Amino acid sequence: MARPKVYNNFINGKWVKSHTGETFENINPADKTDVIGKFQKSDARDVDDAISAAAEAFKKWRLVPAPKRGEILYRVAQRLWKDKEQHSRDMTREMGKVLAETRGDVQEAIDMTFYMAGEGRRSFGQTTPSEMNNKFCMSVRQPLGVCGMITPWNFPMAIPSWKMTPALMMGNTVVIKPATDTPLSVYNLIKAMEDEGMPAGVVNMVTGSGGSVGSPLMHDKRVGCVSFTGSTEIGRKVSAACAPDFKHCHLEMGGKNCIIVMDDANIDLAVDGSLWGAFGTTGQRCTASSRIILHKKIYAKFARKFVARAKALKVGNGLNEKIQMGPAINEEQMNTVLEYMRIGKEEDGAKLLCGGGRLKGGKYNKGWFTQPTIFGDVTRKMRIFQEEIFGSVTDLIPARSYDHAIALANDCAYGLSAAIYTSNVNRAFAAMRDVYTGIFYVNAPTIGAETHMPFGGTKHTGNGHREACTQALDVFSEWKSVYVDFSNTIQRPQIDNQ
Ligand code: NAP
């Protein structure tokens, strides 16, 4: 077998080894004998080098006209498009999700990069009349400097692109720490930027663990903004690290998303959507449909159809086009999911309707495969109702009425995504208003965001910012209000004009 390729950090336009001289292995979760590559096990010294390079590059990059910055991004998007199939295969190998989904992940990076390239000729501010004579008012965005980015493994190229492209567009420079489980997709994104002429130091990648790379990155005083996507537990640490220097801090964290199915819904459509929402990406999406709240009148019918479909899902190596659900990302995550299956079986009143364990035997022994698992009769006090599992487990929760369903939907620490299936337009609009989340769907599952819409959540999912769309620009820039007085006199607003 060929020896795995060694990948380096990208600092100041060069591919360099880490100070430790050590590497870690990137393993295929569907086949742990498949070592995809070796990546640098970096530490604070590498982070320091990368931040120094980014701080130096910022002096010039911020002055490059925005349409020119956009042109580079435009070419990057085209290159990603050209290499989409290879990047998708790399991603399925390192992350495990099926090819159709990794193609979607790369496509999302392409869409976002094109979108932000376009911002080169927009990034609009305001011009507005002054309250004084012969005076002009406008607002402009200004960059923040070096932006640190810490990203998760479940959307290995899409999420890094959501952060990097708006930051670059605004004239910032970037140091990114990819998830340890999926550095190859970030390497592919950075390589496309290098190949399309991104100046040295403008983007930098340092691989390694959260503690050795993420932590020094978020604590460094030269970093003007930290953008983090991952668990609420680590997000809280990021928030605390940013607080002393009042750094811009952007957090996208966990979810416990619900689909409400009303008694007037198209049940087959709701089953289709719930299957995709719950078991797409093996349930490892922040937006996964992990609570399905069913009106009592359709509970039994929905449960019967849904369980039959979940049992029929084809689980395996995502490189096989026939496979519908891949493995858990790693052994630790698989064990967390198995632990929640155990907890669910012991919850007083919950019923295991299908799955409930690890898939074993033959090809399954090579990877971290879990069964599509559904618990019925779940109630709000249960841990499987309240806690994010991030795996192939979902709950069916009976509701007495619309009001009861809404109360259940909101009874949760997180607020990322929610959905309602109903044919009653009044109920659909009421639910849009009544469920407190950042994203809401009608007659579609909780997953499936588009890049030109704001993305993010309320409560313990986020800290008020939004990713994607033009809202992403707010994370990576600060407004400056500019007043130009051409009256040649001293004019005092609120005083001289009263
Ligand atoms: P995680 O454990 O919080 O890790 C996220 C990132 O933080 C990784 O790069 C990780 O590095 C790094 N990290 C870990 N410990 C750190 C520390 N002490 N200091 C600085 N950085 C640290 O989350 P995950 O398991 O990768 O992802 C799953 C979670 O992400 C779920 O909760 C999911 O809901 C959430 N998520 C949210 C969104 C959203 O948009 N709301 C999207 C996707 C995922 P290592 O990889 O080296 O550990």
Type of residue found at 289: S
Ligand 1 lining (C-beta closer than 6 Å): 150-155, 177, 179-181, 209-211, 214-215, 218, 229-231, 234, 237, 252-255, 286, 388, 390, 416, 457, 461
* HSE-up of residue 141 (Cα within 13 Å, Cβ side): 25
pLDDT of residue 7: 98
Strands 203-205 and 173-177: parallel
Question: Which atom of ligand 1 lies nearest, measured to the CA of 234?
Answer: 3
Type of residue found at 473: L
Question: Which atom of ligand 1 lies nearest, measured to the CA of 232?
Answer: 32
For the CA atoms of the chain, what is the radius of gyration? 24
Q: Which pTM does this prediction carry?
A: 0.97
Superfamily of domain 6-253+462-481: Aldehyde Dehydrogenase; Chain A, domain 1 (3.40.605.10)
Q: Are 174 and 204 in contact (CB under 8 A)?
A: yes
What DSSP string describes 266-304? Answer: -HHHHHHHHHHHHHGGGG-STT-EEEEEEETTTHHHHHH
Which residue puts its alpha carbon closest to atom 28 of ligand 1? Answer: 230
What DSSP string describes 2-13? Answer: PPPPEE-EEETT
Which residue puts its alpha carbon closest to atom 5 of ligand 1? Answer: 230
Cα 229 to ligand 1 centre (Å): 6
Which residue puts its alpha carbon closest to atom 26 of ligand 1? Answer: 152
Which is nearest to 151 in space by CA: 72, 241, 250, 11?
250
Please state the domain extents for the chain.
6-253+462-481, 257-442
Q: What three-state secondary structure class fits 417?
A: strand
- Active site annotation includes 71: no
The per-residue b/e assignment along 277-304, b for 16 or more CB within 10 angstroms, e otherwise, is: bbbbbbbbbbbbbbbbbbbeebbeebbe
CB atoms within 10 A of CB 51: 24
For residue 467, give the DSSP letter.
B
Q: Which residue among 229, 331, 455, 463 has the greatest number of ligand 1 atoms within 8 angstroms of its CB, and so is best to mutate?
A: 229
Between the CA of residue 144 and those of 226, 465, 475, what are the distances in Å? Answer: 10, 16, 9
Helix intervals (H) in 170-212: 183-195
Cα 227 to ligand 1 centre (Å): 11
Q: Which residue among 151, 154, 333, 467 has the greatest number of ligand 1 atoms within 8 angstroms of its CB, and so is best to mutate?
A: 154
Q: Is 16 exposed, middle or buried (0-12, 13-18, 19+ CB in 10 A)?
A: middle
Joined together, the tokens standing for residue 1 give 């077998």
Question: Which atom of ligand 1 lies nearest, measured to the CA of 177?
Answer: 9
CB atoms within 10 A of CB 254: 20
Cα 230 to ligand 1 centre (Å): 3
- Active-site annotation holder among 225, 242, 258, 286: 286
- Active-site annotation holder among 94, 119, 252, 467: 252
Per-residue pLDDT of the chain (498 residues; tens, 9 = 90+): 678 999 999 999 999 999 999 999 999 999 999 999 999 999 999 999 999 999 999 999 999 999 999 999 999 999 999 999 999 999 999 999 999 999 999 999 999 999 999 999 999 999 999 999 999 999 999 999 999 999 999 999 999 999 999 999 999 999 999 999 999 999 999 999 999 999 999 999 999 999 999 999 999 999 999 999 999 999 999 999 999 999 999 999 999 999 999 999 999 999 999 999 999 999 999 999 999 999 999 999 999 999 999 999 999 999 999 999 999 999 999 999 999 999 999 999 999 999 999 999 999 999 999 999 999 999 999 999 999 999 999 999 999 999 999 999 999 999 999 999 999 999 999 999 999 999 999 999 999 999 999 999 999 999 999 999 999 999 999 999 999 999 999 999 999 988
Residue recorded with tokens 């990948």: 7
pLDDT of residue 341: 98
Joined together, the tokens standing for residue 346 give 């012991």
Q: Are 446 and 419 in contact (CB under 8 A)?
A: yes
Cα 228 to ligand 1 centre (Å): 8
257-442: CATH topology is Aldehyde Dehydrogenase; Chain A, domain 2 (3.40.309)
Cα 150 to ligand 1 centre (Å): 8
Distance CA 146, CA 50 (A): 10
Cα 177 to ligand 1 centre (Å): 11
For residue 137, give the DSSP letter.
E
Q: Are 463 and 440 in contact (CB under 8 A)?
A: no
Distance CA 363, CA 58 (A): 49
pLDDT of residue 2: 79
Joined together, the tokens standing for residue 65 give 């006209």
Q: Are 187 and 205 in contact (CB under 8 A)?
A: yes
Residue recorded with tokens 């399905």: 292
Which is nearest to 283 in space by CA: 392, 174, 410, 413?
392
Joined together, the tokens standing for residue 425 give 């337009």
Helices (H), strands (E): how many in the chain?
15, 22
Cα 331 to ligand 1 centre (Å): 16
pLDDT of residue 215: 98
Distance CA 259, CA 71 (A): 41
Which residue puts its alpha carbon closest to atom 8 of ligand 1? Answer: 179
pLDDT of residue 1: 65
Question: Which atom of ligand 1 lies nearest, measured to the CA of 252?
Answer: 41
Which residue puts its alpha carbon closest to atom 15 of ligand 1? Answer: 210
- Active site annotation includes 387: no
Cα 333 to ligand 1 centre (Å): 12
Q: Is 35 exposed, middle or buried (0-12, 13-18, 19+ CB in 10 A)?
A: middle
Which residue puts its alpha carbon closest to atom 46 of ligand 1? Answer: 179
Joined together, the tokens standing for residue 338 give 């198995």
Percent of the chain whose predicted confidence (pLDDT) is above 90: 99
Residue recorded with tokens 């002055």: 63
Between the CA of residue 74 and those of 157, 159, 166, 324, what are the distances in Å? Answer: 17, 18, 13, 33
Which residue puts its alpha carbon closest to atom 20 of ligand 1? Answer: 214
